[in-house]
């Protein structure tokens, strides 16, 4: 538990001082929303159109992949990654610390992106904000869990910037499908649809457990 809190504190302290990852993710996701806004036909009624929630998740996933690419990049300087690998703890707790930090950073980006998205597409998301936050949180958790594991794998490869999206995006298909379906049904009915939520919970649990168990071996050279 000490190691989990230590890694979480370290990642959040570093992010608070540099804001590198947060700024890159936020600007990127806002630009994605802007591009989608200009790409959408002028006659689009976002409230009635089933594919609009998918656009929000495009911004979330791209921002998430960008953030996960940076999750271990900072550890390369001075080989700080080896300092983590040397820690005499179950490395699963190092994974939990890194994943939680990424989840929190992504959560703030998701919230700000949702506000901008609502303004751009004139959607009233405020009425369903708690439910939308729950869906975004579950989706973000899946991105953070799978992304942390794959980022740790890809960070020592030569083409890590390309490698991570190639590995991560296919793995996120169940999360993306469930999150888009849940968001669509939420905007249509105003209540949380359980089947896609259950799918999100199962996907998150699988990614978290597998990543926790595999992290011991991922940090070995």
Partner 1 sequence: MSGAVVRATGLAKRFGPLAALQPLDLTLAAGETLALLGPNGAGKSTLLRLLAGLARPSAGVLEVGPDGATRPARRAAVGLVAHATFLSPQLTARENLTLAARLYDVAKPAARAATLIEAHELAPVADRAAGELSRGWAQRVAIARALVHEPRLLLLDEPFTGLDPRAAEKLAERLATQRGGARAAVLVTHELARAVQLATRALVLVRGQALAVAASALASTPALESAYRDAVAALEAAP
CB of 152 vs partner 1, minimal distance in Å: 14
Residue 3 as a binder of partner 1 (CB under 8 A): the answer is: yes
**SS (HEC) of 158-209:** CCHHHHHHHHHHHHCHHHHHHHHHHHHHHHHHCCCCHHHHHHHHHHHHHHHH
Half-sphere exposure of residue 220: CA atoms within 13 angstroms, side-chain side:
4
Residue 12 as a binder of partner 1 (CB under 8 A): the answer is: no
Residue 2 as a binder of partner 1 (CB under 8 A): the answer is: yes
For partner 1, which is the closer residue by CB, 55 or 74? 74
Dist CA 209 CA 218 (whole Å): 14
For partner 1, which is the closer residue by CB, 79 or 124? 79
Residue 158 as a binder of partner 1 (CB under 8 A): the answer is: no
Judged by CB under 8 A, the residue of 43, 45, 77, 170 near partner 1 is 77
Dist CA 178 CA 57 (whole Å): 11
For partner 1, which is the closer residue by CB, 30 or 81? 81
How many residues appear in the chain? 221
Chain residues that interact with partner 1, rule: CB under 8 A: 2-3, 5-7, 9-10, 13-14, 17-18, 74-75, 77-80, 82-90, 216, 220-221
């Amino acid at each position: 538990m000490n190691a989990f809190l230590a890694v979480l504190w370290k990642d959040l302290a570093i992010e608070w001082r540099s804001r590198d990852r947060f700024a890159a993710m936020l600007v990127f996701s806002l630009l994605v929303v802007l591009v989608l806004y200009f790409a959408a036909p002028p006659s689009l009624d976002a409230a009635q159109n089933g594919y609009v929630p998918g656009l929000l998740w495009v911004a979330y996933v791209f921002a998430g992949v960008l953030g996960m690419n940076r999750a271990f990049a900072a550890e390369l300087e001075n080989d700080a990654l080896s300092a983590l690998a040397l820690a005499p703890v179950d490395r699963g707790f190092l994974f939990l610390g890194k994943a939680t930090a990424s989840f929190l950073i992504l959560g703030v980006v998701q919230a700000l992106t949702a506000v901008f998205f609502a303004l751009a597409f004139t959607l009233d998301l405020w009425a369903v904000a708690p439910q939308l936050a729950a869906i975004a949180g579950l989706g973000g958790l899946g991105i953070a869990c799978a992304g942390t594991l794959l980022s740790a794998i890809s960070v020592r490869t030569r083409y890590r910037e390309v490698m991570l999206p190639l590995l991560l995006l296919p793995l996120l298909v169940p999360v993306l499908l469930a999150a888009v379906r849940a968001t669509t049904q939420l905007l249509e009915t105003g209540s949380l649809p359980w089947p896609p939520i259950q799918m999100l919970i199962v996907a998150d649990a699988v990614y978290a457990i597998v990543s926790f168990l595999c992290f011991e071996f991922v940090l070995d050279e």
